[in-house]
Amino acid sequence: MNDNIKKALVVFGGGIVLYWLFRDASFIKGKKKKEKVEAVEIDPKELQNKRKAGAFIALKAYIDAINNRENDKVLDELNREFAKELKVRVYKRSKDGVIVATDLNGKVILENK
């Protein structure tokens, strides 16, 4: 091996090491890491109600999507699927930040407290 190849390998290897060290360096960008939302807990007896069971599934999937840092476009698409399949809409209430599952008329079915 000549000197140029050795230097190229050292530079390339150094770049990979730096990337590995700073791949999740949100402190450099000034962004705070989002805290994960805890999943909703529900009594299994309440899941026998078909409407609450659908709302629970939708709410859990929405929370998982938020925890996986999905963008708003994906969350909107997920909500369209919930509306079509389960007749439920899930969103984060702006006044208190609680994630709620409602029917298509806006009546609250489940809340994530």
**Does residue 41 form part of some domain?**
no
Q: What is the structure's pLDDT at 40?
A: 64
**Does residue 39 form part of some domain?**
no
Q: Which of 83, 81, 72, 84 is nearest to 106 (CA)?
A: 83
Q: Which of 75, 79, 113, 109 is nearest to 96 (CA)?
A: 113
Per-residue pLDDT of the chain in tens (113 residues, 90 and over written 9): 788 888 888 888 888 888 877 776 555 555 555 566 666 666 666 666 778 888 888 888 998 888 888 888 999 999 999 999 888 999 888 888 889 999 999 898 888 87
Instruction: Determine phi and psi for 91, rounding to 5 degrees.
Output: -155, 170
Q: Are residues 59 and 8 in the same domain?
A: no
**Does residue 66 form part of some domain?**
yes
Number of domains within the chain = 2
Q: Are residues 106 and 85 in the same domain?
A: yes
Domain range for 21:
1-33
